[in-house]
Amino acid sequence: MMKNFNSLAIILLMVMLLLISCSDNKKESLELLDKGVELYYRSDDKTALELFRKAIQKDKSNFEAYYWIGNYYNNKRKYKKAIEYYSKAIEINPGFADAYANRGYAKNNLKDKTGACKDWKKARKLGKNNLDNYLKWCE
């Protein structure tokens, strides 16, 4: 009986350590994201990109880090790469209106009007404002 108790205690301890480790990674990921966004707005986008990638390494579910990498590539006119990252952000968080809107801009720049309109309409449905000038092209 004591042997079973010791085994159970060890398993519970391992689970607790795993949970603590996971929450630490999420916290670190969010800190890296915040610092990256700050640097991005200060026009240090290459360093920001590194921080966004590190944020994803810490927490693969950090959809905002994928979104900001999408913004980086969108601004560099690497629209296919931007779409890839916006799509990953949407895969993780299907309610992320800004990712739909920005993916729509990237698709529009690739002359994919149908895809752009679909994304803009979805972004609008999710509450994104300021899309009227784009949505009028979709009708």
pLDDT of residue 139: 77
Query: What structural domains does the chain harbor?
Result: 61-138 (1.25.40.10)
Instruction: Calculate the CA dihedral of residues 69, 126, 118, 116 and round it to 10 degrees.
Output: -40
Q: What is the pLDDT of residues 48-60, one digit of tens each?
A: 999 999 999 999 9
Instruction: Calculate the CA dihedral of residues 82, 84, 87, 91 and round it to 10 degrees.
Output: -140
Mean pLDDT of 5-17: 55
Cα–Cα distance measured from residue 41 to residue 80, given in angstroms and rounded to the nearest whole number? 23
Q: What is the pLDDT of residues 14-54, one digit of tens each?
A: 555 444 455 788 999 999 999 999 999 999 999 999 999 99
Cα–Cα distance measured from residue 37 to residue 50, given in angstroms and rounded to the nearest whole number? 11
pLDDT of residue 83: 98
The pLDDT of residue 6 is above 90 = no
Mean pLDDT of 72-80: 98
Structure-block tokens of residue 79: 């629209």
pLDDT of residue 137: 85
